[in-house]
Amino acid sequence: MTKYLHATVDGFRIFYREAGPKTAPTILLLHGFPTSSHMFRNLIPLLADRYHVVAPDLPGFGFSDSPPRERFRYTFEHLANVIDSFTQTIGLERYAIYVFDYGAPVGFRLALAHPERITAVISQNGNAYDEGLSQGWNPIQKYWKQPTTENRAALREFLGPEATKAQYFYGVQDATLVAPEAFELDSALLARSGNDEIQLDLFLDYATNVALYPRFQEYFRTQQPPLLAVWGKSDPFFLPEGAQAFKRDNPKAEVHFYDTGHFALETHVQEIASAIREFLGRTATQANAA
């Protein structure tokens, strides 16, 4: 059974989902924009018989606190620091990271700070290479280069319910597999008072993640963590080239593509769970043998 819990980190409440025996190897699931740990609701039960699974909501997302911008810096460095403190607060010492979208720069920052804690990397449309960025990023990149009021305002359309819904359906072959409560929940939480400004701050700060791509790549190259990419090949934001690029720095990286879009777990959770179980089971065996 999945438990729904809160941990207090730096004075703020972090909501998280937890399942599986605490004595088992841990997988830390890190969500992206515009969602929350709710995106893992179907994956967690498929892993929890064998793994200790923990899925927090980032500050400003889901059911974690969304402190006002005057009290909390909405940067990816700060989000990573909070999640780092969260892992220590609940007693996680070593864990695999499953990273998606925004969860990728958060998780990769954890790996840079504590490479000894990371047992494996599973990237589901979690990018770390320039070639993985599609033209869908052009309006946000324009804001990075010219952070004007006008360019900030132009990004508000990405926060509306239709834009959120479109992220769930773009590239999906069978729309009947997408649960409406997923995008409706995301839209409702995005519509909370003040959350639009939080999200616009993070759009601007995403440029710091791209600036860190060379360091993320150096981590893959020097640490050679077991790495699995499970990728919706029709993602409008993160292209398949970004998944293939992992092999450049980590030749043993394994890459699986699925005929779906950004939220691959909505349509291919069984296949992705099977790939994760096989991958982690095999790499853990190889590590123990070594």
Spatial distance between the Cα atoms of 269 and 42, rounded to a whole number of angstroms: 7
Give the residue numbers marked as catalytic: 262
Spatial distance between the Cα atoms of 217 and 123, rounded to a whole number of angstroms: 13
pLDDT of 287 = 56
Q: Find out whether 124 and 258 touch, Cβ atoms under 8 Å.
A: no
Q: Find out whether 260 and 267 touch, Cβ atoms under 8 Å.
A: yes
Phi and psi at residue 103, in whole multiples of 5°? -65, -20
Would you state the CATH architecture of domain 3-289? 3-Layer(aba) Sandwich (3.40)
- What's the helix, strand, coil split of the chain in %, to 5? 50, 15, 35
Distance of CA 63 to the CA centre of its chain: 16
Strands 12-19 and 52-56: antiparallel
Question: Where do the structural domains in the chain lie, given as residue ranges?
Answer: 3-289
Q: Which residues of 140-157 are buried (b: 16+ CB within 10 A; e: fewer)?
A: beebbeeeeeebbeebee
Spatial distance between the Cα atoms of 58 and 100, rounded to a whole number of angstroms: 12
97's tokens: 């990271």
Spatial distance between the Cα atoms of 89 and 15, rounded to a whole number of angstroms: 13
Which residue ranges in the chain fall short of pLDDT 50? 288-290
